[in-house]
């Protein structure tokens, strides 16, 4: 292989690690090898198994190369090639007519994080839809409940930096499958353990990470707040709080102490399934071993009380003073530190030049099923989908599909491959991968800002989201110069926020160095001396609003529902796919088509290993293969997400079962609060 040069890029998948990549490119411009950048302090020269093989996707015969128009019924997947001119003309004409007849808010963008690059995630598309007066999408599908909880706990949603985990003496992965979803944190944990640290996991599923821990706490789904409150009970009862930290930097500890008096380990044991003595041990150890780091990931907040779960957990380090130490505190997400000028990128003020002349209504993406089938003020008549695959990843698929099948809904899908969602499109537009376009990258698992330039040519007629929305704006006749801004103009606008974390960081720096650390101290100890984003600047406990309510769909929730659907279903991430991205690889399709049951639950139902089972509830059903293992507790079942429905024999995946019920705060989906029944398939 003739490697003519090595180029830089950044992995754009929705992963905390935001890896810095190196790609070998031969004389013909073809990429031959991908590897992690050894100079990046968190990537450290390696990639996860998924993206090490990304060139298979890049050069896959399944890549979409030309615009397509649907020629068969919706969902069937029959399309014919058309030119870009025809595609753009048709889209512009349809958007105009829908807007004229039903109002511009009948148009809905639907997107999430197929790429997390600032521009292609949310740049020219936002400007375009603002100018059009389209409905605004509330992008809640992943993390908003956790953000709300973290915000309640800390005000500023900062996090322990990954590099500091090496100094910890106790590390708790709390609803965080580190080996599967955040593997670049792992080497720091290995280093800490070599220096004597203990590593614990708190998770309803004893996955690879749990199997490698020193101790695993098999918590029942959605009961984390009860555990955290009982830990507070033990810490306060035994006087293990950091009195100095509590006095200087927190507010309301006396009331908190009173409030958690009722949260005895026995009471929490009933709810969480973790024995009372284990809760006592965990609380004592957490309060006395320093530094103590909690890696809290988003798994915890995909339950009905997800925000409260995150909030109570994130209060723990303020009680024990863990925030003082390098390697102490909580990491949920580092993203808050990237204080870019998003408004300059998205330009919400363009809404005032739209036919509406005001801010448009907001539609929550987590209830897209209802939005497409029930909204009436006005109904959704046109939808433009990009960076997302709602026909696989959105909850309550039967509702979603009823919506997507509507013949009076005009649907445009911007995609790399022919997903289930693309099968429902009227027009499909081929898009680039992150190796083929420019973008600016933040991260949610480290503190380095990165730039990527195209490393490979786009195949066929594929274009970036940025280019497509510029073209569409022109076709619609919008003459605002900002709808023609170049990528680099928008990156400069993003960097010019005036925030001290970005001071002095320029496009030229990023061009030269590829990644640049934010202007934050090293180590970054955001709350070592208070500094919380609250009115008092202290961590405010607000004990009167703390508490635990079981999810409706859980073993302690609605008993009538539980009598019919006695099993708690969680559907966490697959290790080797990224949501539905790369879930079409045969081995992932196979893995994601299995359900793990506890041996007792399997025996009760006469289910044999590898047997075909029907999993169902009031919303839908799905056929899966049984795996029988005590990696889940009795009463809990687990399916990896997210299979491509069209690759399953019955055309269904786990989201046939999940509900459109929203979290306590943040309007997120309660994917992991889901009751089902399982029986042998007849
Ligand atoms: N390999 C891989 N990596 C990914 C992704 C992927 O699909 N695959 N997805 C990316 C995305 S979009 C995100 S948001 C992140 C998410 O990253 P994570 O939050 O780490 O992923 P999840 O699998 O959602 O949940 C983490 C763990 O929480 C557990 N869990 C479920 N319910 C509960 C509960 O009630 N309490 C507790 N304590 N634990 C619970 C699950 O069993 C799982 O092991 O990962 C990103 N990285
Ligand atoms: N049951 C269950 N459901 C879940 C979850 C779960 O844990 N369990 N997790 C939820 C979470 S946390 C999330 S974040 C969502 C994720 O849901 P999505 O954000 O929909 O993520 P993906 O399934 O990866 O689909 C992203 C799509 O974007 C495309 N894409 C990539 N780059 C580009 C680009 O530059 N332009 C365009 N136009 N398209 C691009 C990819 O080809 C891919 O088809 O799923 C949610 N659904
Ligand atoms: S998916 Fe995550 S771990 Fe894998 S290469 Fe991308 S950023 Fe790195
Ligand atoms: Mo996510």
**Tens digit of pLDDT for each residue in 42-92?**
999 999 999 999 999 999 999 999 999 999 999 999 999 999 999 999 999
Tell me: pLDDT of 231 over 70.
Answer: yes
The answer to whether the CB of 250 is under 6 A from ligand 2 is: no
Tell me: pLDDT of 3 over 80.
Answer: no
Q: How confident is the model at residue 4 (pLDDT cuts 50, 70, 90)?
A: confident
- Is residue 557 helix, strand or coil? coil
Six token digits for residue 100: 């004229």
Average pLDDT over residues 653-675: 98
Can you tell me the distance from the alpha carbon of 185 to that of 42, in angstroms, rounded to the nearest whole number? 8
Ligand 3 site-directed mutation target among 22, 52, 184, 297, most atoms within 8 Å of CB: 184
Task: Say what the pLDDT of residue 357 is.
Answer: 97
CB-side neighbour CA atoms (13 Å) of 171: 34
Beta sheet of 3-10, edge-to-edge order:
3-10, 20-26, 31-36
Q: Which architecture, in CATH terms, is 559-680?
A: Beta Barrel (2.40)
Taking CA atoms, 298 is separated from 24, 204, 223, 444, 670, in Å, by 34, 14, 14, 11, 12
Q: How confident is the model at residue 404 (pLDDT cuts 50, 70, 90)?
A: very high
For ligand 1, atom 1, the nearest C-alpha belongs to 575
Average pLDDT over residues 158-174: 98
The answer to whether the CB of 111 is under 6 A from ligand 2 is: no
Cβ atoms within 10 Å of 560's Cβ, excluding its own: 7
Instruction: Look up residue 555 and give its DSSP letter.
Output: T
Tell me: pLDDT of 1 over 60.
Answer: no
Domain ranges of the chain: 74-141+345-436+461-499, 144-332+534-545, 559-680
CA of residue 66 to ligand 2 center, whole Å: 22
List the one residue out of 17, 2, 6, 3 whose CA is nearest residue 51.
Answer: 17
Q: Which residues, other chains included, contact 603 with Cβ-Cβ below 8 Å and sequence gap of 6+?
A: none
Can you tell me the distance from the alpha carbon of 419 to that of 110, in angstroms, rounded to the nearest whole number? 15
CA of residue 142 to ligand 2 center, whole Å: 10
Task: Say what the pLDDT of residue 21 is.
Answer: 98
Q: Using an 8 Å Cβ cutoff, are 678 and 607 in contact?
A: yes
> pTM of the full predicted structure?
0.98
- Please name the helix (run of DSSP H) or strand (run of DSSP E) that holds residue 448, with its range, or none: strand 448-452
Ligand 3 site-directed mutation target among 9, 14, 17, most atoms within 8 Å of CB: 17
Q: Using an 8 Å Cβ cutoff, are 615 and 676 in contact?
A: yes
- Is residue 386 helix, strand or coil? strand
Residue 458, Ramachandran bin (φ over 0: left; ψ between -120 and 50: alpha; else beta)? beta
Q: Provide Rg for the chain, Cα atoms.
A: 25
Task: Say what the pLDDT of residue 2 is.
Answer: 65
Ligand 1 site-directed mutation target among 142, 173, 176, 181, most atoms within 8 Å of CB: 181
What average pLDDT does the chain have?
A: 98
Q: Which residues, other chains included, contact 468 with Cβ-Cβ below 8 Å and sequence gap of 6+?
A: 414, 429, 431
The answer to whether the CB of 142 is under 6 A from ligand 2 is: yes
Residues with CB under 6 A from ligand 3: 11, 13, 15, 17-19, 47-48, 50-51, 183-184
Task: Say what the pLDDT of residue 494 is.
Answer: 98
CA of residue 14 to ligand 3 center, whole Å: 8
The answer to whether the CB of 557 is under 6 A from ligand 1 is: no
List the one residue out of 400, 491, 483 whose CA is nearest residue 440.
Answer: 491
User: Which CATH class name applies to 74-141+345-436+461-499?
Assistant: alpha beta
Share of the chain above pLDDT 70, in %: 100
pLDDT in tens, 597-639: 999 999 999 999 999 999 999 999 999 999 999 999 999 999 9
Can you tell me the distance from the alpha carbon of 186 to that of 200, in angstroms, rounded to the nearest whole number? 13
Phi first, then psi: give them for residue 518, nearest 5 degrees.
-60, 155
Ligand 3 site-directed mutation target among 38, 40, 46, 48, most atoms within 8 Å of CB: 48
Q: Using an 8 Å Cβ cutoff, are 550 and 670 in contact?
A: no
Q: Which ligand is nearest to the CA of 301?
A: 1
Task: Say what the pLDDT of residue 266 is.
Answer: 98
Average pLDDT over residues 312-321: 98
CA of residue 144 to ligand 4 center, whole Å: 10
Instruction: Specify the fold of 144-332+534-545.
Output: Dimethylsulfoxide Reductase; domain 2 (3.40.228)
Tell me: pLDDT of 230 over 90.
Answer: yes
Average pLDDT over residues 662-676: 98
Average pLDDT over residues 316-345: 98
CA of residue 613 to ligand 1 center, whole Å: 24
Q: Which residues, other chains included, contact 438 with Cβ-Cβ below 8 Å and sequence gap of 6+?
A: 119, 451, 452, 453, 454, 464, 487, 488, 491
Average pLDDT over residues 570-592: 97
């Amino acid at each position: 292989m003739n490697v003519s040069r090595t180029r830089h890029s950044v992995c754009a998948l929705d992963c905390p690690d935001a890896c810095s990549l190196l790609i070998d490119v031969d004389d013909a411009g073809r990429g031959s090898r991908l590897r992690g950048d050894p100079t990046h302090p968190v990537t450290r020269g390696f990639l996860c198994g998924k993206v090490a093989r990304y060139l298979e996707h890049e050069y896959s015969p399944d890549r979409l190369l030309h615009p397509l128009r649907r020629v068969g019924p919706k969902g069937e997947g029959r399309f014919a090639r058309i030119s870009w001119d025809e595609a753009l003309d048709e889209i512009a004409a349809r958007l105009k007519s829908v807007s004229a007849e039903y109002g511009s808010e009948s148009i809905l963008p639907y997107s999430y994080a197929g790429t997390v690059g600032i521009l292609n995630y949310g740049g020219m598309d936002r400007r375009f839809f603002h100018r059009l007066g389209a409905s605004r999408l509330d992008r809640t599908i992943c993390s908003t409940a956790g953000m709300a909880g973290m915000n309640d706990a800390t005000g500023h949603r900062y996090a322990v930096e990954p590099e500091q985990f090496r100094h910890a003496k106790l590390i708790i992965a709390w609803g965080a499958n580190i080996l599967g979803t955040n593997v670049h944190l792992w080497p720091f944990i290995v280093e800490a353990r070599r220096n004597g640290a203990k590593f614990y996991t708190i998770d309803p599923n004893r996955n690879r990470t749990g199997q490698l821990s020193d101790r695993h706490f098999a918590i029942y789904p959605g009961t984390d707040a009860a555990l955290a409150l009982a830990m507070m009970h033990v810490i306060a009862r035994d006087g293990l709080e950091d009195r100095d930290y509590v006095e200087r930097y927190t507010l309301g500890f006396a009331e908190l102490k009173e409030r958690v008096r009722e949260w005895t380990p026995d009471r929490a044991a009933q709810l969480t399934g973790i024995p009372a003595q284990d809760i006592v041990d965990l609380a004592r150890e957490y309060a006395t071993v320093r530094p103590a780091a909690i890696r809290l990931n988003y798994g915890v907040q995909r339950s009905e009380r997800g925000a409260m779960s995150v909030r109570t957990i994130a209060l723990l380090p303020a009680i024990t003073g863990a925030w003082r130490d390098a390697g102490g505190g909580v990491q949920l997400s580092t993203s808050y530190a990237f204080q870019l000028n998003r408004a300059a990128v998205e330009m919400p003020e363009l809404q005032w030049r739209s036919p509406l002349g005001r801010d448009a209504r907001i539609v929550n993406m987590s209830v897209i099923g209802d939005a497409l089938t029930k909204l009436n003020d006005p109904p959704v008549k046109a939808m433009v989908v990009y960076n997302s695959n709602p026909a696989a990843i959105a909850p309550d698929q039967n509702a979603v599909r009823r919506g997507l099948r509507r013949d009076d809904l005009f649907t445009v899908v911007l995609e790399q491959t022919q997903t289930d969602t693309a099968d429902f499109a009227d027009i499909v537009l081929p898009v680039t991968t992150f190796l083929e376009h420019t973008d600016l990258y933040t991260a949610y698992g480290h503190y380095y800002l990165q730039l990527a330039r195209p490393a490979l040519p786009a195949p066929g007629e594929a274009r970036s989201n940025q280019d497509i929305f510029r073209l569409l704006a022109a076709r619609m006749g919008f003459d605002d110069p900002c709808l023609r801004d170049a990528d680099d103009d928008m990156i400069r606008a993003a960097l010019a926020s005036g925030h001290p974390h970005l001071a002095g960081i320029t496009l030229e720096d990023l061009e030269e160095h590829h990644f640049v650390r934010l202007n934050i101290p090293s180590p970054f100890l955001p709350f070592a001396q208070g500094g919380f984003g609250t009115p008092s600047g202290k961590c405010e406990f607000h004990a009167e609003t703390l508490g635990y309510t079981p999810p409706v769909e859980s073993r302690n929730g609605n008993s009538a529902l539980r009598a019919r659907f006695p099993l708690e279903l969680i559907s966490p991430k697959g290790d080797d796919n990224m949501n539905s991205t790369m879930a079409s690889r045969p081995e992932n399709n196979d893995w994601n088509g299995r359900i793990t049951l506890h041996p007792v639950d399997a025996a009760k139902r006469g289910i044999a290993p590898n047997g075909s089972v029907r999993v169902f509830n009031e919303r839908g059903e799905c056929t899966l293969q049984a795996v029988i293992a005590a990696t889940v507790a009795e009463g809990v079942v687990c399916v990896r997400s997210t299979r491509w429905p069209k690759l399953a024999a019955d055309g269904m995946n786990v989201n046939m079962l999940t509900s459109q019920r929203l979290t306590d705060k943040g309007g997120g989906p309660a994917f992991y609060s889901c009751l089902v029944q399982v029986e042998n398939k007849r």
